[in-house]
Amino acid sequence: MAAARDSQGAPYLLPPNREDWEEQGIPDFTYGQKDLTGKGVRWPRNSPSALDTMPVSRFDSALCAAWRQRMELGLFRYRLEDLQTQILPGSVGFVAQLNIERGVQRRRPQNIKSVRQEFDPEKFNFNKIRPGEVLFRLQREPNGPAAPQQGDILVLINVSPLEWGHVLLVPEPAHGLPQRLLPGVLRAGLEAVLLSLHPGFRVGFNSLGGLASVNHLHLHGYYLAHPLPVEGAPSTPLDPKGFIHLLQGLPAPGFLFYTSGPGPDLEVLISRVCRATDYLSDHEIAHNLFVTRGAPPGQSSSSSDLIGIRVILWARKSSFGIKESGAFNVALCELAGHLPIKTSHDFSCLTEAAAVALIQDCLLPQTQADEVQAALVALMAQEEL
């Protein structure tokens, strides 16, 4: 990424030390509709390394400069170096990365027994983090256009990062919201993707039982300098209006929702997705969600055709507690095709077939998957009534 500068070209100023964070308070990152970019973001044609010469947005500059500073100050559990990366041979295009430190040093997941478990203030939550872990407060401009008002979103470092710029988006932590998707935080996640000019900035959500390790409402956001199979995979519509599609040709078929960018369609998408996740939560079905720039639904498209925003939702078997076996754990990024690998042995030996088997072992039995699909299609049909 280029050096961090604001919209006038001046360096993006950050508190120089820990004491100043407490004295100065949390900086605000205020944005408006004009900052949201729907089209024109593309992968470079030659190589991912060319991303370093591409334009960056004000959001990218602010996030990356603050994140880099926290890394230099030692606020992470480990120092993230360039991760060894390979594209697994095969038809899927899995992006595998060796991240030993995360596998060893990440916080142990909380004891979760239900997708609908209540928030417990005695357990670890984001009200207990160090002040320096907060990068900034994400705020919409007051009196902006039509989008509903939403509370402030704190952008925090993930102290056990998957990749460069790995952050958490946490809506008003003091409210003690459990890990259940709400429209306001989903809107913030979608708009964060639209605020970035990096084609590999993605956002996602793990439900309880879907490998969320903290029961306090949050999204993940991070940069990955590689296209992923979900960006251009083909899909088939599940309803006559095309409100919901089924992603095809991947190990984990997911429900695909799509919008061309900011505007009224974005609000419609938020409503549809949250109705779907509410259904899954109400029926104790774990789920993962992934937000990325991508091609419109339909036939297979080039991953360079990042025309709009794809939101992919997977219903899956519940998985409670930490999983030590297997080359990787299956959550939002693994279902999307990004595989953080825990050991050098697994990184050197993993095959596409083994990765597919691990992922498919986490999916719902076909009979239950069919029932969920029918229920979600019926939910979308209610929109027409």
pLDDT tens, residue by residue, 252-293: 999 999 999 898 899 999 999 999 999 999 999 999 999 999
**352: which residues sit within 8 A by CB, 6+ positions away?**
88, 89, 90, 91, 92, 94
- Is the Cβ–Cβ distance between 196 and 170 less than 8 Å? no
Q: Rounded to an integer, what is the distance from CA 304 to the centroid of its chain?
A: 20
The structural domains of the chain, with segments of one domain joined by +, span 30-44+53-112+131-384
How far CA 211 is from CA of 261, 316, 320, 333, 334, in Å, comes to 29, 11, 7, 11, 11
Rounded CA separation 308/265 (Å) = 11
Residue carrying structure tokens 């704190």: 154
CA–CA separation, 59 vs 62, rounded Å? 5
First to last CA, the chain: 48
DSSP label at residue 144 = -
- Give the pLDDT band of residue 69 (cuts 50, 70, 90): very high
The H-assigned helical ranges of the chain are 18-24, 58-72, 100-105, 183-195, 264-282, 332-336, 344-349, 352-360, 366-381
pTM of the entire structure?
0.91
pLDDT tens-digit series, residues 134-160: 999 999 987 655 556 567 899 999 999
According to CATH, the superfamily of the domain at 30-44+53-112+131-384 is ATP adenylyltransferase (3.30.428.70)
Q: What percent of the chain has pLDDT over 90?
A: 74
**At 324, is the secondary structure helix, strand, or coil?**
coil
Give the catalytic positions in this structure.
218
Segment among 6-15, 75-84, 177-186 with least mean pLDDT? 6-15
Residues near 244 by Cβ (< 8 Å), separated by ≥ 6?
A: 237, 238, 255, 256, 257, 272, 276, 376, 377, 380
Cβ proximity of 31 and 139 under 8 Å: yes
Tens of pLDDT along 215-241?
Answer: 999 999 999 999 999 999 999 999 999
Flag whether pLDDT at 5 surpasses 80: no
| pLDDT at position 298 | 80
Rounded to whole angstroms, the Cα distance separating 343 from 100 reads: 6
**How far is 206 from 224, CA to CA, in rounded Å?**
18
pLDDT digits (tens, 9 = 90+) for 45-67: 766 555 666 789 999 999 999 99
Instruction: Tell which residue, 77, 72, 79, has the closest CA to residue 108.
Output: 77
Each residue of 104-141: pLDDT tens digit?
A: 766 666 788 999 999 999 999 999 999 999 999 999 98
Residues 6+ apart with CB under 8 A from 259: 190, 265, 266, 268, 269, 308, 309, 311
